[in-house]
């Protein structure tokens, strides 16, 4: 398959498996989405979703998060890992949101990425899933699968994002990145597939005998 054929096959396969993929992190506002995404760093979405009900019950907006305080935030989010840094980020960004943005999450990459604990991937998730702007957040699953599918060289996540944006129509990005993550978790896992095992990999790399080695982000 050439790249255009791969893109067509991947899109059709993922749409059949996940026609309406849900947003993995539970939230009820852009603010709670932002907080959940920050907590998901080096932590599973499942664990984040177990932790956030208590946190959001006590602090579902910036003012309440400030009032809750770093010590209590850290206690609640401890199961997510990296609690010292994450609690500091949640507390400090809440102060900035209140002081600079009237308690609202800003609707721009530049503003989001200036907030404590918010990198490009986190900003991309908020922009796409929170505000509905076209973005293509690249996590470890997407970075791995894009290499196995021959869509990028795996140099780094920045290059992978650039390559995928070039290959897939903009209107598909927001849905597609969730579909790829779900497929990576269910079928094309880091150890469960070697680039020639799962359904998509076996079709795309039909003539390949050796496993595909992927570069980590």
Count of CA atoms in the C-beta half-sphere (13 A) of 160: 25
3-state secondary structure (DSSP) of residue 209? coil
CA distance 155 to 159: 6
63 CB-contact burial (10 Å; exposed 0-12 / middle 13-18 / buried 19+)? middle
The values of phi and psi at residue 23, to 5°, are -70, 125
- 86-124 tens-digit pLDDT: 999 999 999 999 999 999 999 999 999 999 999 999 999
| Domains delineated in the chain | 3-21+136-204 (1.10.1670.10), 30-130 (1.10.340.30)
- 46-89 tens-digit pLDDT: 999 999 999 999 999 999 999 999 999 999 999 999 999 999 99
Residue 217 pLDDT exceeds 90: no
| Tokens describing residue 134 | 């076209």
Q: Identify the band that residue 154 occupies on the pLDDT scale cut at 50, 70 and 90.
A: confident
- The mean pLDDT of the chain is 97
Catalytic residues: 121, 139
């Amino acid at each position: 398959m050439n790249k255009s054929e791969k893109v067509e096959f991947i899109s059709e396969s993922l749409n059949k498996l996940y026609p309406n993929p849900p947003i993995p992190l539970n939230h009820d506002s852009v603010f709670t989405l932002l907080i959940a995404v920050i907590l998901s760093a080096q932590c599973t979405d499942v664990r984040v979703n177990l932790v956030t009900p208590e946190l959001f019950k006590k602090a579902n907006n910036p003012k309440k998060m400030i009032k809750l305080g770093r010590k209590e935030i850290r206690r609640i989010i401890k199961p997510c890992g990296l609690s010292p840094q994450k609690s500091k980020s949640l507390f400090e960004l809440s102060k900035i949101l209140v002081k600079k943005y009237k308690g609202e999450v800003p609707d721009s990459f530049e503003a989001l990425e200036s907030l404590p604990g918010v990198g490009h991937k986190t900003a991309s998730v908020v922009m796409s899933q929170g505000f509905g702007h076209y973005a293509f957040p690249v996590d470890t699953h997407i970075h791995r699968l894009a290499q196995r599918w021959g869509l990028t060289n795996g140099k780094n996540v920045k290059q992978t994002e650039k390559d995928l944006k070039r290959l897939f129509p903009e209107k598909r990005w927001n849905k597609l990145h969730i579909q790829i993550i779900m497929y990576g978790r269910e079928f094309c896992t880091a150890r469960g597939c070697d680039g020639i095992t799962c359904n998509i990999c076996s079709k795309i790399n039909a003539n390949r005998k050796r496993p595909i080695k992927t570069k980590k982000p």
